[in-house]
Amino acid sequence: MTVPEQASTVAEKKNGCASSAPTSNAKKGIPRYGPDSVHSWMTAGACAIATFFGVGGRRSSGFLYVAILDTFGATRTQAAWPIILLGGVLLLTGLIAGPLAHRYTPRPVAIVGGSIGALGLMVSYFATNTEYLVFSLGIVHSIGSGMLFVVIPTVINEHFIRYKGLAMGINFAGATMGTFIFPKFLELTTNHYGFKSALLLFGALCLNAVAFSLFLRQPSWLKKKLKEQKEKQVQEKKLRSGTDTSGHTANGCHIAIPNGSADGQANTKKQELVQGSFRHGLTVFSCPMFYVVMYSYIAFSFAFECYISLLVDFAIDRGISVSHAVTVLSTSSVADLVGRLTLPALADRGYFTRQSLMTISFAWMGSLYIMLPLAESYAVVFAMATAIAFCIGTTVVLFSVLCAEYVGIERVSMAYGMVSASAGMTSLAKPLVIGYFRDKVGSYDNLFRLCGSVVTLGAIIWIFVHIRLWATSKHTWTLENGTLCGSHEASAEKKSQP
């Protein structure tokens, strides 16, 4: 492809929105560079492999929980602490990973995170009790794994416009493959070398996350656009120096006002915060839909962490052997993988909206959690685990894509970091919750019903979002930021997909 052709490809992406006009590149196939290009898909592959190694510990939490019980003779509450922190601290790391990626780009954050995460696994070799594992596995490994996990979706959002759903599915497919491979890897190495030696080998293997994080660079076409935007802002600031800059925004989304007025000058001042500004990143908190995504992620995370941590123990309570219980968790990841790669890709092509897919997935997943205690046989547990895994795979892809859709690509690192951190805060009480239901109530049945209830409430919230969107034909759609925050200040396209 020639340089003019590359320039044409970038020029057609105005303000992060794909042009609807056909181009010569579209006729020839996928361009080598630019949004949704060959380079973008290679980056998505690197993201998937980095995620595969980076969050392997979290995706093996079911086996780790049982292994800690057997190796250290701990109570279920004691064994639950490092496992729940493995998920909770991972998400809570968004408090630092999001702002760091907003300021320094995701690549250095992912590299440091991959290194810390692998180190946490390897030093677990020296554990003599569960308190040590709380530090090494629940804190050190979780912080590193969380730094990588939180920022990688930003890389996908930077490289893709039209096929974000499919690309995000490929990225999160790496985590799914971890569920399929790492529990069995840990089971085999534990049987041959012991649990602590297995963790040492596991940590060395997960260092590969650092190698693949080296490929995750901000796309050159986006850097050029941001550089030009910054230079323009500096020039406009000099021209308007000393002028009153009072203005307004609505629902966290910039309202376009003609240049030359006082409000237009405020618009310029507002945009000065775009280039990695912490203050501008915090404006995500004034977008109403940000809170809808936040609650949805909290509900999803609470249910997922309980499910992934307890499924093996739950299956054992139903008379299923440990080996078969681990197999249920591993093989159901195939359905998880299918969910990540199919329905979000169909949403990319406009067969239905991402909001509709989120609503249906939440409703289905909530119902399955509520019905899970009814499963008594291996076949029924396997079937329900497969269905739940499919819903999990479909849903997890949508959160970061919707964050970018609602707050814009410039603030997606901050938004997704804060969304992840909010879910992590609720995880701190999960060991007590798990211990209460298992050691005092005697089973996990009501805990799974509780998980189903909070997820179902999320589906109800998304139904109200649909009703509101149906009841009004006006939203805020700011082309220069690519955001949709549900205001009445400007007309919007009824179809929010690219």
Largest CA distance in the chain: 76
| 278-472, CATH topology level | Growth Hormone; Chain: A; (1.20.1250)
Distance of CA 127 to the CA centre of its chain: 31
Q: What is the pTM of this model?
A: 0.74
The predicted pLDDT at position 235 comes to 67
pLDDT at 317: 85
Is 34-221 in CATH node 1.20.1250.20?
Answer: yes
Specify the pLDDT at position 7.
Answer: 42
Whole-number pLDDT of residue 266: 46
pLDDT value of residue 248: 46
Q: Phi, psi (5° rounding) for residue 408?
A: 95, 155
Q: Where in the chain are the domains?
A: 34-221, 278-472
Measured from the Cβ of residue 377, the count of other Cβ atoms closer than 10 Å reads 11
* Sequence-separated (6 or more) residues with CB below 8 Å from residue 165: 344, 345, 347, 348, 354, 397, 398, 401
Query: Cα(400)–Cα(151) distance, rounded to whole angstroms?
Result: 10
Its sign, for the CA torsion 242, 243, 244, 246, is negative
- Measured CA to CA, the distance from residue 128 to residue 135 in angstroms comes to 12
- Residues 455, 300: contact at Cβ < 8 Å? yes
Dig out the tokens for 157 from the structure: 């959002």
Q: Which two structure tokens, joined as six digits, stand for 366? A: 């909530």
Judge if 34-221 and 278-472 fold alike in CATH terms.
Answer: yes
Give me the tens of pLDDT residue by residue for the chain, a chain 498 residues long.
444 444 444 444 443 333 333 344 444 577 887 788 898 999 999 999 999 999 999 888 878 988 999 998 888 778 888 887 887 788 889 999 999 998 888 999 999 999 999 999 999 999 999 999 999 999 999 999 999 999 999 999 889 988 999 999 999 888 878 877 898 899 999 999 999 999 999 999 999 999 999 999 888 766 666 665 666 666 666 676 655 444 444 444 444 444 444 444 444 444 455 455 677 778 888 899 999 999 999 999 889 888 877 888 888 888 888 888 878 877 887 888 899 999 999 999 989 999 999 999 999 999 999 999 999 899 999 999 999 999 998 999 999 899 988 888 888 889 999 999 988 887 777 777 877 887 777 778 899 999 999 999 999 999 999 888 888 755 444 434 445 554 433 333 334 344
The Cα–Cα gap between 40 and 229 comes to 22
End-to-end alpha carbon distance in the chain: 25
